[in-house]
Structure formats: structure tokens, C-alpha cells
Amino acid sequence: MKCVEEAIERAVKHRHLNCLITETFQLALDQASEAQKKGLKPFPVIVKDCFAVKNVPMTCSSKMLLNYSVPYTATVVKRLVKSGGCIIGKSNLDEFSMGSSSLRGYFGPVKSGFSHKESLDDDWVVAGGSSGGSAVGVQLGMATVALGSDTGGSARNPAAFNGVFGFKPTYGLLSRNGLVPLTNSLDAPSIIAKSADDCKTYLDVMKGHDPFDSTTVDSQRCIANAKQSLKGLVIGIPQEYFNDVLSPTVLRALNSSALELEKAGCTIKEVSMKHTEQSIVCYHILGECDVASNMGRYDGVSYGFRKLNETSLDAMYTASRNRSLNKVVKNRIIAGNYFLLKENRKKYYDAAVRLRRLIAGDFKRAFSPDGEGVHALLTPVTSDSAESYKHWKKERFQRDWVDDFYTQPANMAGVPALSVPVGFCKKKRPVGVQLISNLFEDDLCLSIGKELYRLMGEPQIE
Ligand code: GLN
């Protein structure tokens, strides 16, 4: 009970950072006493505001869903609560999870806990995204575990910016029932926590088949190959991930990580993943097509915001959507509809689907004993540590898209990927690296991440 009360105190203390859209403190306290009655140990949880929690508003940080409450609870949330989880609140995000900064939500930006007090009003440190509220919340101790969603990096990116672990499990291991879809075949409910062990604990609590999501898989398919020692493991470094925008800071973090892994008995091997560069384009085509279709449900009739006093049904649809969705969301809907036009479909969508197979093939080859035979890949997770808001703006929000280069290939292939905090840059902001392993080798990924974190000991990177 005490840890839940303390988490609530911290949430109140850090309200100015805008992590939570909806606070559910009373719900958390009720759940804590329920848990205690059942002999469970309560723990504080934050849920990204694109997951359903019964009778609690779910906004996706959009004006469109401002007054929307959900009649049921997402499977992953249910499973957390059943094991003692107490929901402190619903966290802030980029509108409908589109973005990598948590600057783009209807409720205003999430500010990082690494921001300086003096510059909190106009030049805070960007939280990363889209699950920025979840990552900042965990970093500041408002929750032991937070749910994020990761379609192209949305849990791993803010985890890296805030010095916590962000884990996207194998596609289908965690149920998407009750998660608002962005790109159905890429979306993975994800875990943000302060240790790899915590990620593992809560993964075990939530994973497995769910009759409400036909894409879930039985947890028995997971390979129990967590390693106590790293001796004899082969870690691949794909050369194609080292692109022009990668900062010296992250490069140094990767070098020291590789060195430490080598000292611990790993073999470091350079590998090639030929389709990496095309992956981001492919990600956007497939993503935008799904967005065009998924966002069709927001018409002002079945859900959400409705613009009144329009002169026709069409005018009402148009005005409702136009007035309530942000520019990023609208652009993606338009792009998706363009890619799906009868005359364009072959050229874009069908080509992207085929390319996706080749991208997944790169991973398969890397992990196969007949291919490169690596146990895990070590890559950047972001191009640099977090930036200040002014800098972000000066670069015209480019950073919102460039960092996806490193994270979305794992979603394209469905493989598990972990953002591991490995140190701090000169500005005293966290730096992370990414570990990716083969399908269903989630345990292995987390155990390597745990060791890497221990070996690195959070040093100053530069
Ligand atoms: N930044 C990526 C995008 O905007 C990833 C989003 C996500 O993972 N939800 O598409």
C-alpha cells in the first residue's frame, strides 16, 4: 500500500511535467486494498492513454476523444491488475501515438525529469515519444511499471531519453485487445520499467493467448533461454544502422557497450542487413495505409467530437475530423489514402508488403545458425540523447522522424527489442542502446540487457 501512496505523492509533486492526462488515484488506492485482501503485493502502474480502462476516459491525447470513456478494460491492463497492479493514471502521448517527442498531444507537451527548473516554461528537455508520459513517470518513480505502445519505437525511444528500460516484446505475445490501433500488424503493447528484471516480471504476468485478439500467441512458444553469463554469445553489429545522423555520443556508447560485452565473453561480429535503409519508407507506407483505414471510425457519429450545425452529413464528417485531429494525423490519413488509390496500390502498398518480407528475412538470416548465427544485435536506439525543446523546434521537428530509422525495423520483423540505458552524455542526459533478438527469444534479450546495464554501470559517456 505504501508504495502506491508514495507513487501518488510523486505524481502530485511532478504534475508540472504533464505526464498524466487522467489521474486515477482513488482507483489505485481501491485496487491496492483489493490486492492486499487477496494477499498480493500492490504495485503502482501507469497506462498510456491509448489503452482502455473501464469507465476511465481514454483520449489518445486528441480532441477527437475528449469525452470518450471506455466500457471495458484492455487485456494487458486486466492481467496487471489481477497480479496486484494499481493504476495511478493514464499517461500523456503524441496524438494517437504518432510522433517521437510527446510534444504533439492535445494536452500539451510532456517534459522530461531531466529538464532544468529555470527553463521548464520554454526550453524543457524533450521526453521522447510517443509514450513520453509513461517513461517520465517511471523515471520519477510514479510507477514501477508503465504500459507503452510501440509501433515503430514509441516505447524504446522515450525509454532511452529518460534513462529507463523500454521493451517491445515479440509481436503477438502481448494482447492488443483494448489498445487503440495505429498499424495493426506492427503494434506491440510494451513495457517501461527501471530494470530488465522488472520488464521480465511484468512480461510474464501479461503474456500469452487472448481470445479477444486472434493475433496473440501462446506463451509456451517463448524460448526459455535467459542467460546468467554472457560467455559464448555472439552479438551482431549491423553496419547499416550506422547512418549519417548518428551522433558521436551514441557511437561512443555503442563502442563501450560492445567492449564490455566482449570482455564478458561475447564474440562481437559485424553483420550486414541489406534492407535496413528501405525499412523506414516501407514502415511509413504500411503505417499510413493502416492509419487511413483505422482513423475512418472517427466520424463524429460513432465516437468522439462532433461539429454541430453543419448543413449536411458530409459537411459534418469533414468538420468534425478537421476540427479535432492534429496535422500529423491528418497528413498520415491523406498519405495513406493516396497510397491506397486503385492506381497506386501496386506501386506503394503491394511493394511495401513485399519489401517487408525482405526486411524480416535480414533478421532471420542474422539469427539463423546457417546465416550469421548471432544471438542478439546491438544497434543505436536514438541518434543522440534528448534535446531541449528550442533545439528541437529549431531543427523543425526533424528529430520526430529521424530516430525511427533505428527502431521500426524490429516492428517490421516482429522481433523483440529492448532499449537499455547505458550512461549519460556531457549534458547529463541519458543515453541508450538497443538490443534485438530473434522471435520468441524475449528472455534472452532481457537477460543480455540486464548484464549490459550492470557492466556499463551508468558511466559518463563523454
Ligand atoms: N515515431 C513513430 C511514428 O510516429 C513511432 C510511433 C509509435 O511507435 N507509436 O510513426
Per domain, the residue ranges of the chain are: 1-461
Q: Are 4 and 88 in contact (CB under 8 A)?
A: yes
Does ligand 1 lie within 6 Å of residue 382's CB atom? no
Does ligand 1 lie within 6 Å of residue 404's CB atom? yes
Does ligand 1 lie within 6 Å of residue 75's CB atom? no
Spell out the residues 6+ positions from residue 302 whose beta carbon is closer than 8 angstroms to its own.
none
pLDDT above 70 for 461: no
Q: What is the pLDDT of residue 176?
A: 98
Does ligand 1 lie within 6 Å of residue 181's CB atom? no
The mean pLDDT value for 355-361 works out to 98
The DSSP 8-state label assigned to residue 174 in this structure reads: S
Rounded mean pLDDT of the chain? Answer: 96
Q: Are 8 and 88 in contact (CB under 8 A)?
A: yes
pLDDT above 90 for 214: yes
Give me the catalytic one of 62, 83, 112, 130.
130
Angle between helices 276-294 and 327-339 (to 10 degrees): 100
Does ligand 1 lie within 6 Å of residue 154's CB atom? yes
What are 85's three cell numbers?
A: 497492479
Residues paired with 193 in a beta bridge: 145, 165
**What are φ and ψ of residue 404, in 5° steps?**
-60, -20
pLDDT-based confidence at residue 334 (cuts at 50, 70, 90): very high
> Over the stretch 8-66, which tens digit does the pLDDT of each residue have?
999 999 999 999 999 999 999 999 999 999 999 999 999 999 999 999 999 999 999 99
Shortest-distance Cα residue to atom 10 of ligand 1 = 98
User: Is 401 or 77 the better-scoring residue by pLDDT?
Assistant: 77
pLDDT-based confidence at residue 250 (cuts at 50, 70, 90): very high
Q: What is the pLDDT of residue 462?
A: 63
Per-residue buried b or exposed e for 402-412, using 16+ beta carbons within 10 Å of the residue's own CB:
bbbbbbbbbbb
The Cα 291–Cα 332 span in angstroms is 7
> Over the stretch 102-154, which tens digit does the pLDDT of each residue have?
998 999 999 999 999 999 999 999 999 999 999 999 999 999 999 999 999 99
pLDDT-based confidence at residue 228 (cuts at 50, 70, 90): confident
- CA 232 / ligand 1 centre spacing (Å): 35
CATH class of residue range 1-461: alpha beta
The Cα 114–Cα 131 span in angstroms is 16
- CA 336 / ligand 1 centre spacing (Å): 15
Q: Are 325 and 95 in contact (CB under 8 A)?
A: yes
Does ligand 1 lie within 6 Å of residue 100's CB atom? yes
Q: Are 313 and 53 in contact (CB under 8 A)?
A: no
**What are φ and ψ of residue 436, in 5° steps?**
-125, 135
- CA 407 / ligand 1 centre spacing (Å): 9
Helices (H) and strands (E) in the chain, counts: 15, 11
Shortest-distance Cα residue to atom 5 of ligand 1 = 152
Q: What is the pLDDT of residue 403?
A: 97
Give me the catalytic one of 131, 154, 190, 324.
154
Does the predicted TM-score (pTM) go above 0.95?
yes
Look at residues 352, 347, 349, 379 and name the one whose alpha carbon lies nearest to residue 363.
379
Q: What is the pLDDT of residue 1?
A: 83
Q: Is 48 a catalytic residue?
A: yes
Ligand 1 atom with minimal separation from the 287 CA? 10
Q: What is the pLDDT of residue 78?
A: 98
Ligand 1 atom with minimal separation from the 401 CA? 1
Q: Is 385 a catalytic residue?
A: no
The beta-strand segments (E) located in 102-187 are: 145-150, 165-168
Q: Is 227 a catalytic residue?
A: no
The Cα 382–Cα 163 span in angstroms is 12
CA 418 to each of CA 338, 356, 452: distance values in angstroms, whole numbers, following the listed order: 34, 21, 11
The Cα 256–Cα 313 span in angstroms is 60
Does ligand 1 lie within 6 Å of residue 153's CB atom? yes
Q: What is the pLDDT of residue 149?
A: 98
Pocket residue to mutate for ligand 1, from 51, 60, 94, 151, most atoms within 8 A of Cβ = 151
The Cα 382–Cα 128 span in angstroms is 10
Pocket residue to mutate for ligand 1, from 60, 176, 184, 404, most atoms within 8 A of Cβ = 404
pLDDT-based confidence at residue 457 (cuts at 50, 70, 90): confident
Q: What is the pLDDT of residue 442?
A: 97
Ligand 1 atom with minimal separation from the 182 CA? 9
Q: What is the pLDDT of residue 458?
A: 67
Q: What is the pLDDT of residue 225?
A: 85
pLDDT above 90 for 460: no
The Cα 37–Cα 41 span in angstroms is 10
**What are φ and ψ of residue 220, in 5° steps?**
-65, -20
Adjacency order of strands within the sheet including 20-23: 20-23, 85-91, 43-48, 145-150, 188-193, 165-168, 417-424, 430-437, 376-380, 234-238, 267-271
